[in-house]
Amino acid sequence: MAQDKEPQGSGESGRSGFADRWKSGNGRPSSFVYIVLGLGVLTLVILLAFIYFSASERERASPPICTDISVERAERVVLDGEVERMTVVYHDDLATPPSSRYGPVLAKFDNRDETCFNLPQGIANQGVVYTLVGVIGFYNETTEGRQIEITYQRSSQLDQSLFMLPTETPTEVVETPVAPGTPAPEGTPVVMVSASPASTPASGATP
């Protein structure tokens, strides 16, 4: 019996069919190649965009750490045009001026180089905030450069210590008793009392 012979070259024809997808009739790459390459490029672009926006979100979620600043330096950075915005915080329950809870208790500088400064805190340092608000107002009125923004925020979650005035400790003066006959301490003025000088007889006079 004649045995059925398997068609030869079936594997080669399969491989050649797959290769034909990459080539057009004239031997150039077919449109299938461009579709695959386009999908690869699109996937890479989406991945890079995801990484970029994730890094940007992390940067925005981590604000810079603000450092303390003295009054003299605060005035200098204002006049040098380094400050972009000043934020002033006061209690949500706005009291009248005679109240000890009236006025700003927190203030901060946001600078143009994305750094920030904390001004002296508490009602004990309200004069510092008022002074710098005046300095910024004068700077904005008299310069043609970039203006410094002042924002005011109300807050009900302020620490009670911000509304406490420092207490002055009275200085106790202790007087040390001085025993009779003790010489006066150095630097104490001493009054000298002298007797009237005796009259001297004239030369040649007979006593």
**Taking the chain, what is the end-to-end CA distance rounded to the nearest angstrom?**
190
Q: Is residue 189 very low, low, confident or very high in pLDDT (cuts 50, 70, 90)?
A: low
Residue 23 near residue 29 (C-beta atoms within 8 A): yes
Q: Over pLDDT 90: what percentage of the chain? A: 34
* Rounded average pLDDT over 184-201: 52
pLDDT at 71 over 90: yes
Longest dimension (CA), the chain: 192
Q: Are 105 and 91 in contact (CB under 8 A)?
A: yes
The pTM assigned to this predicted structure is 0.52
How many CB atoms are closer than 10 A to CB 129? 23
Cα–Cα dist 13/130, whole Å: 88
Spell out the alpha helix ranges (H) of the chain: 10-21, 31-61, 71-79, 126-142
In this prediction, residue 205 has a pLDDT band, given cuts at 50, 70 and 90, of very low
**Residues 2-20 pLDDT 10s:** 555 555 555 555 555 555 5
Burial of 50 (0-12, 13-18, 19+ CB in 10 A): exposed
Q: Is the pLDDT of residue 93 over 60?
A: yes
| pLDDT for res 24 | 58
Which amino acid does the sequence have at 178? V
